[in-house]
Amino acid sequence: WDPATWPQEAKGWGPHEAPRGALSHWVRIKDGKIANYQCVVPSTWNCSPRDASGKLGPYEAALLGTPVADPEQPLEILRTIHSVDPC
């Protein structure tokens, strides 16, 4: 693990199927330094809104039709979202 041996220009990525869903990391190195880094975490997919074709995101779809007994304390909403296992 010697930084002197690292390339001055490089790109890399690494995907993984984590317990909550797909996890990916992307990095671009320029002049020996990180020029760009992006991480797409499971919440990117799990918390996504409705897409361009009108397909509902998982949270939105799960919440539709959820009865709420007390609007002042909507515990049913929390229980529904927690079932998707957010961060």
Q: Which residue has the tokens 């361009």?
A: 52
Q: Which two tokens stand for residue 8?
A: 């001055």
One domain for residues 41 and 63: no
One domain for residues 26 and 64: no
Domain count, the chain: 2
One domain for residues 16 and 54: no
Q: How far is CA 62 from the centre of its chain?
A: 17
Q: Which domain holds residue 83?
A: 49-87
Q: Quote the CA–CA distance of 25 and 67 in Å, as a whole number.
A: 38
One domain for residues 21 and 7: yes
Q: Which of 56, 52, 48, 54 is nearest to 86 (CA)?
A: 48
Per-residue pLDDT of the chain (87 residues; tens, 9 = 90+): 898 898 999 999 999 999 888 999 999 999 999 999 999 998 888 888 888 999 998 889 999 999 999 999 999 999 999 887 777
Q: Quote the CA–CA distance of 63 and 69 in Å, as a whole number.
A: 14
Model pTM above 0.75: no
